[in-house]
Every structure is written in structure tokens, then in C-alpha cells.
A and B are shown apart, each in its own frame.
Chain A
Amino acid sequence: MQQPNKLSPFFENLNFERDDNTMVINFGPQHPSAHGQLRLVLELDGEQVVKAYPDIGYLHRGIEKMAENMTYNEFLPTTDRLDYIASTSNNYAYALAVEKLLGIEAPRRAQVIRTMLLELNRIISHLFFIATHALDVGAMSVFLYAFREREFAMDLMEDYCGARLTHSSVRIGGVPLDLPAGWLAQMRNFCNAVDYELEHTYNALLQENRIWKMRLEDVGVISTEDALSWGCTGPMLRGSGVAYDVRKEEPYELYSELDFDIPVADTNDSYGRYRLYMAEMKESTKMIRQLILKYDETEPQLMAHAPQYISAPKEEIMTQNYALMQHFVLVTQGMRPPKGEVYVPTESPKGELGFYIKSEGEPYAYRLKCRAPSFFHTGLLQEILVGTYIADVVTIIGSTNIVFGEVDR
């Protein structure tokens, strides 16, 4: 215990153990590189971490409890607040789970728009990762460049749905809006810009940067067994040499029609994962280019036709009595999916984002469980931080790419 007096003040984040000469240091929850509200209790022997204990829950809002007390459509904007860096992927994962429960499928044009938005969100999220990861490690300039491109991507999102962070751009059964005029041309320009910047700015700044490599190579090594056992998904799993991507293995939306590769790194370290994120952005722009071509071939219908669950288009509501009655019931009471349970996995930028929904035939979900990738990646920290040096702790946290809206829910 500390015994503070005038000469030795009380250190509120430190605790010196007399008997085994280790020091307990409290990292966060307000640390700038804790990526939100992560509190890590680290036991240090000199500069080496002996024990790490991630303490989470500072952003717990009871989203799963809220889901039980909201109708299915009411809950959709709440999913924005899970992974707030790429909120469309949450909206989509939730909408897909409900659609699977209802047994409906979005029309073709909605699928094209959704897939395009998902990949745009992946770019937004990955740019954010590169920016903050580099900032944590000490490369300030990458942050400025990556946020410039991210700003363009958020402008595109804003042009589509009016929001920059909390998009709610997907509905159960389709999308609410068609693309605005000129959006696809801007999107194409953006893809070209990202490809150019990836090659000439980020790669040029980081890829062969000596300091960057020294800070990342062989840091945060996760063996394949550990990655599987700890429930790692997404880039964390592919960074450990397992080629599993939900988009490829269990394709949803239009991914089965698109031509794209799954980058895999077998170095198991932070540098491999960084390379992976860069490669994935390239694949995303490749996919968006293919989707732009597909858009013109589609019919203009945006929402699925399922009058029992989904309101008719506005023109029908305004002109047909029965459509208006159904709309009234759906708005005031909410849709009632069939009795059953479903777990639907999707590949969000952070990993496997899945929603488990248990329905008892009521307008309120009986139980909704959000399988957030970051939650399991945070659990992994207690193992991979042990034995590393305190300077690498920040690198490893950055490399796991955790977002606390999703961890704490």
C-alpha cells in the first residue's frame, strides 16, 4: 500500500507491491489510446507485463434489454450505437437477421445499394483503424491523410442517408431511399482516390517505414489455436492464418456474385494485420466498382413486398385503403415475426457480427443477443498482453481494432 506524505504524494493510478516487486498500473478508462472506455489493470515487473486484466462496462447501455422492449422497427436505429464507426454494418446485420426470421428477401436494387454501403462502411472503418493505429504508435501524419479520405466517404454517406455517423440507412426488407443523382459518379471518383492514396500515401508512409515495422513486427502475436479458441473473427482470425470470411464462406446479399479475394496473413503479428486491413480496402473498392455496374440493370423497387410485415410504398398508402390499414397496424403494433429462433452472422469491418433473435410471435423480440466481435477481441487481451512490454500494449490494443460501443453494448 502507498503511504502518502508531503514528500511522496499519493499516485491514484499506481500501486506498488512490497513483497514481489511488481507494480500495478491502471490504464484507462480515460486513456487516449484505449479506444474508448477500456480500463486495463496491468501488473508490471519493470517494463514487462506480468498480468493484464481488461475491465469493461463503462459504456454499457443495456441495448439487449432495450431490444426486448422495442418493436423490431423501433430497435433498428439503436443498432447504430453498437459499432459507431461503421453503423450501416450493424443496421444491416440486424435487418438481415429479422429478414431471415420473416423469410423475406430484399429486392435486387436494395441488395446492390446495401452491399455498396457495407463496403463503403468497411473503407470508413478501415481508414479509421489505420489512422488511429498509426497515431497510437506515433505516426501522426497518417492520421491526417486517412481522415481526409474518410471525410469524403462520410460525405457520400451523408448524401445518401443524411447522417454521417449514425446512418440507419438500411430497413428491414430493403433500403428507404434510392441513390441520389450523381452519387455513383462520386463513388467512382472516391474509389479511384482511395486506391491512389493507398498506394501513394499510406503505403509510402508506412509499409517500409523502419520505425513502423520495428513497432509492429512480432508484436501481438496470436497463434492460430489461440485465435480460434478466443473466438477471434475477421482480420484478427485471418491475421493468424485462417482463411475464413463470412462473405466468402456463407455469402449473403450479393457477395456470391462479386469477384473478390480474401487476404490472409500468416505472420500472426500486428504488422500482418495492418497489411491485411490495407489489402481489404483495395478489395472493397474492387467490389464497389463491380456493384456500380450492376446498379443500372436493376428494377427500381426498394422494399420487399410482404404486406404482413412491411408497409407498402408511400404511393400505395396514400391511394389504397387496405395498404393504409396495414400500415397503421404495422406502425402502431409492430410486425409479428413467426415463432422461432435464428442466428445470422455477417462480416462487419471488425469481424463476425451476428444477431441471435428469439421470437415468440410477439411484436417484441423475446431475446436478442448481439454477438459483437470486439467483445471477444477484448477478452483476448488478458492473454496476449502478458509478457509484452508496456510500450507495446498500446500497439496491441490498436491492432485489435476494438470499439467500445460494441464491447459494452
Chain B
Amino acid sequence: MRKYVPKDNVQGKAYYTDRYHVVPSTPREDVSSDEVFVKHLEILSSKVEVNRAEIQLGSMIVEINHEDNFKALEILKNECGYAQLTEMSAVDYLAKDGNFEVFYQMLNLKDVKRMRLVMRIEQGVAVESVVPLYKSANFAEREMFDMFGIVSNNHPYMRRILMPDDWEGYPLLKTYPLQGDEFASWYEVDRIFGKDAREAIGPENRDPARVDRHDTKRFSRVGYEVEFGADISQGETKTAIEYSKTFLVDYQEADGVKPAEDRK
């Protein structure tokens, strides 16, 4: 029987996990343990609904509702001094919880504090673009769209950024295989040679470790040498291995080369 592989998450998995393995957690602290973060959280929670707030490994994590993202970032920028949006992207939790987690990584240069604003959104729901507040979101939101398909409303130029414009599928989803899907294997063939050439060329090999036993163009077969490109699907004949003769060259002698067995 073929091994069961879940379709909704094709990420690499451990081949063995101990039955009694308990997953530990990183230490979490209450926000009240840091006096600067407490102030920022107070300002934020007075205007925006906060679902969760904690300090993990030195930075504050605040979860809000996704409708409030623009408002929350506006407060963080103007009232809490988070002058830079360092990074933003998403995490795919579709298989686990049925939604995405979008995070905004913020930096306060004056207090030297970093916090992460986190929100959960369903698939197909768009978020409000924060480009009017932080221009660094311009490329970051495009990348998020490119990789997860999460659209940002009112973005000045919402198009793919890293993948080609006519690409189908979102590569960082957990449902997307590492080697690419069916569309990916035909993409270059279709673009360069046209769809009519599909049969003549065949799909692109996107697995660098793939070995084709019958491929006589890329793989050599010691002891079974055949012509380049020969068809060996019906089997190949064995060829005896011929080793070259070994000569020992004595440069001291004037006449030079002599076979090894003659040098007695």
C-alpha cells in the first residue's frame, strides 16, 4: 500500500517521532515585565481590540483583528514611535487552523524596541495596504501576494514581484510542492517553444536528484556502453571493460619508454 501523504501540507516531515516526545515551548513572559512595552500596549489597546499580547524572546507580540491593521499601525507609528516597518509577511496555517497569520515586524529606533503585530485572516480575504504609512510595505506586500495570494487593498501596484507575471499558484503555500506543480513543469516549454511542442519536448525535470535509468544522454553506464541517445528500454548488451596498459617511464634512461614487464 502506498504511504499516506496529507495533501494539504506537503512540507518536509520528520520520518520518525518518538511516541513520548513532548514539544517544549520557548519561554513566554507577561507584557507587564517590560515597562516600555506596557506603555505601548496601553496606547494600542485603548483604541484597538487586542486579542493576545505577550513577550517572547525579547520582543512583544500583539494579536489584533485584521480589520484594524491600518489603524493599529497608524497608532504604533504616530503615538508609540515605531518609525520603521522592518518586515512583513504571512505564515500559512490553512491546514491547521484554516487561516493565514500575517505579521508586521516593527522597530522603534528611539527606545530600541522591536514588536510584532500579528493578525489572522481567512483565505480569500484582502488586507488593507499600509503603504501610506510605511513605504517599505510596497515591496513586502507584493511579495506576500506573490507567495501566498493575499491581496492588499489600495496598494499602488499589486502585482507579482519575484515570480513571473503569468505564473499560476502561490509557492509558499503548504499545499505547493517543493519541486513545483504540474503548471511549473510545463511553464518554460510553453513560453519558449509553444504549447504545440509539449509532446516533442516533454515536461521539465524540476527534481535535480532524479535519475532516469533509460536516459542515455545524461547518464553513463560503465560496462554497458551504448551510443549517445540510443534507446535501451529493451535492454542493453554488456561490454567487457578494457583497462589501459600501465607504463613506467624511466627518465634516467636515454631511450625513454619501456613497458613495465620488460624492465627486469
Q: Which residues of A contact B (CB under 8 A)?
A: 56-57, 60, 62, 64-66, 68-70, 100-101, 103, 226, 228-231, 233, 242, 244, 249-250, 333-334, 336, 338-343, 345, 352, 354, 356, 358, 360-364, 366-367, 369, 371, 375-376, 378-380, 382-383, 408-409
Interface centre among B13, B143, B176, by most chain A C-beta atoms within 10 angstroms, is: B143
CB <8 Å contact, A342 and B105? no
Can you report 13 A-B residue pairs in the complex whose CB atoms are below 8 A from each other?
A: A64-B172, A66-B178, A69-B12, A69-B178, A231-B86, A341-B56, A342-B26, A343-B86, A343-B87, A343-B114, A369-B89, A379-B135, A383-B135
Decide: B15 and A333 in contact? CB cutoff 8 A: yes
Question: Do residues A230 and B135 form an inter-chain contact, with CB atoms below 8 A?
Answer: yes
Please, how many angstroms separate the alpha-carbon atoms of A73 and B160 in the complex?
A: 31
Pair A356/B163 contact, Cβ less than 8 Å:
no
Contact A68 B11 (CB under 8 A): yes
Most buried by A among B26, B89, B134, B140: B26
User: Quick one: which of B11, B61, B163 has the most chain A CB within 10 A?
Assistant: B11
When distances are taken between beta carbons in the complex, the residues of chain A under 8 Å from B56 are 340-342
Do the beta carbons of B87 and A371 come within 8 Å of each other?
yes
Additional pairs, 20, CB under 8 Å, beyond known A228-B109, A363-B14: A56-B161, A69-B11, A69-B12, A101-B57, A103-B26, A229-B84, A249-B109, A333-B15, A338-B25, A341-B26, A354-B87, A362-B14, A364-B12, A366-B11, A367-B91, A367-B92, A369-B87, A375-B143, A382-B138, A408-B162
B14 and chain A: residue at smallest CB distance:
A363
Let me know if B83 is at the binding interface, CB within 8 A: yes
Question: Which 3 pairs from chain A and chain B are nearest by CB?
Answer: A231-B136, A340-B26, A361-B23
Closest Cβ of chain A to B112, distance in Å, is 5
In the complex, what residues of B have CB within 8 A of residue A343's CB?
59, 86-87, 105, 114, 116
Which residues of the other chain, A, contact B112 by a CB distance below 8 angstroms? Answer: 249-250
Is B85 at the interface (CB under 8 A from chain A)? yes
Are A333 and B14 touching (Cβ within 8 A)? yes
Interface string of B15-43 (1 = CB under 8 A from A): 11000010111111000000000000000
Q: Do B85 and A231 have beta carbons less than 8 Å apart?
A: yes
Q: How far is the CA of A56 from the CA of B140 in the complex (A)?
A: 13
How many chain B residues have a CB neighbour from A under 8 Å? Answer: 48
Chain A residues contacting B171 (CB-CB under 8 Å) are: 62, 65
Q: Report the separation of the CA atoms of residues A375 and B137 in the bound assembly, to the nearest whole angstrom.
A: 11
Q: Provide the residues of chain A in CB contact with B136, threshold 8 Å.
A: 229-231, 376, 379
Are A60 and B163 closer than 8 Å at their CB atoms? yes
B162, A60: Cβ atoms closer than 8 Å: yes
Q: Contacts A64-B172, A250-B112, A369-B89; is A338 near B26 (CB within 8 Å)?
A: yes
Cα(A333)–Cα(B16), bound, Å: 7
User: Residue on A with the closest CB to B143?
Assistant: A375
Contacts of B87 in A (CB 8 A): 231, 343, 354, 356, 369, 371
* B6 is an interface residue with CB less than 8 A from chain A: no
Which single member of A100, A230, A360, A364 contacts B57 (CB below 8 Å)?
A: A100
Q: In the complex, how many angstroms separate the beta carbon of A188 from the nearest chain B beta carbon?
A: 34
Question: B57 contacts A342, CB within 8 Å?
Answer: yes
B70 within 8 A of A: no
Cβ 8 A contact of A379, one of B25, B57, B109, B139: B139
> B256: CB under 8 A from chain A?
no
> Do A336 and B23 have beta carbons less than 8 Å apart?
yes
The reply to whether A65 and B139 contact each other, CB–CB distance below 8 Å, is no
Alpha-carbon separation in the docked complex, A345 to B83 (Å): 16
Nearest CB in chain B: distance from A145 CB, A: 35
How many Å lie between the Cα of A364 and that of B13 in the bound state? 7
Q: Are A354 and B86 also in contact (CB < 8 A) when A340-B56, A341-B56 are?
A: yes
A residues near B28, Cβ cutoff 8 Å: 340
A residues in contact with B86, CB < 8 Å: 231, 233, 343, 345, 352, 354, 371
Decide if A57 touches B162 in the complex (CB within 8 Å).
yes
Assembled-state Cα–Cα distance A375/B136 (Å): 9
Does residue B229 face the partner (Cβ distance < 8 Å to A)? no
A28 to chain B: closest CB distance in Å? Answer: 16
Instruction: Flag if B14 contacts A379 (CB, 8 Å).
Output: no
CB distance from A106 to the nearest CB of B (A): 17
Complex contacts, B139 vs chain A, CB 8 Å: 375-376, 378-379
Q: Given A56-B162, A342-B56, verify A334-B14 contact (CB < 8 Å).
A: yes
Q: Are A231 and B134 in contact (CB under 8 A)?
A: yes
| A360 CA / B92 CA spacing, docked (Å) | 12
Task: Report chain B residues within 8 Å CB of A364.
Answer: 11-14
